[in-house]
Structure 1
Amino acid sequence: MKLYRFITGPDDSQFCHRVTAALNKGWQLHGTPAYTFNAATGTLHCGQAVMKEVEGVDYTPEIRLGEY
């Protein structure tokens, strides 16, 4: 089964650590990062899609993607 996640958050070290943790669990980057600026808070937000192939498991909507 193929899994897809889109990790989002403020452009800070915590976001980078979340993406790094996913990569170290076997997720692969998918596409380029996305950025948007929140003018109300003055914060840059980013997102990164990641994908992972998992064998021997069937997809169900109840799957908690972060556990893989």
Structure 2
Amino acid sequence: MKLYRFLTGPDDASFCHKVTAALNKGWHIYGSPTYAFNSVTGIMQCGQAVVKDVDGVDYIPGTTKLSDH
């Protein structure tokens, strides 16, 4: 199965750690990062898509927990 996640967070070290943790679990960067201003919080937000292939497992919507992989 191929998995997709879109990681988001504030423009600070916590976002970089979130992406780094995903990469160390075997996820791969997919596309370019995004960067936008959140007018509600007044904080810049980052986003990065990541993908991962997992062999021998079927994807079941509502059951497959992406963060387990």
- Deviation, 1:56, is 0.2
- What is the TM-score with the length of structure 1 in the denominator? 0.94
> RMSD over aligned Cα, in angstroms?
0.9
Q: Residue 4 of structure 2 aligns to which amino acid in structure 1?
A: Y
| Unaligned stretches of 5+ residues in structure 1 | none
| Count of residue correspondences | 68
Gaps of 5+ in 2: none
CA distance in 1, matches of 2:66, 2:40: 31
2:15 aligned partner: 15
- In the TM superposition, residue 42 of structure 1 has moved relative to its aligned partner by 2.5
Large movers: runs of 4+ above 3 Å: none
Please give the TM-score of this superposition, normalised by the length of structure 2: 0.93
Q: Percent identity between the aligned chains?
A: 63
